[in-house]
A = this chain, B = another copy of it.
Amino acid sequence: MNKSTENIVIIDNAEQLARFAKALGHPTRIAILKHLEKQSCCFTGDLVDIFPLAQSTISQHLKELKNAGLIQGEVNPPKIKYCINKENWKTAKGLFQNFFE
């Protein structure tokens, strides 16, 4: 069982919404996601160039987005290509939409 995505369905809506919201609760992570939306995909290194943050910090943010299920990484040696996780993205969209009516 993949901790980051598989258990989304079994936990209650409020918790799932809070989970997504928490992942979105940092300007850098919003910016990363916006960038991924635009680019469709990108590498960690690209982000390190764009943001004035250490590589380890970017990596940490990516990890959180991945744990929340909002992105996924595809190994593309020697790089790792990050993309929006479209399925969960849709789920998140729906939850927020529903929440705000």
Contact = CB atoms under 8 A, between A and B. Distances in A.
A50 B89 CA distance: 31
Instruction: Count this chain's copies in the assembly.
Output: 2
Contacts of A25: 18-19, 21-25
Interface string A26-66: 11011101100100000000000000000000000000000
28 contacts: A14-B27, A14-B30, A14-B31, A15-B27, A17-B24, A18-B24, A18-B26, A18-B27, A18-B30, A19-B25, A21-B22, A21-B23, A21-B24, A21-B25, A21-B30, A22-B22, A22-B25, A22-B26, A23-B25, A24-B25, A25-B25, A33-B99, A34-B99, A92-B100, A96-B96, A96-B97, A96-B100, A97-B100
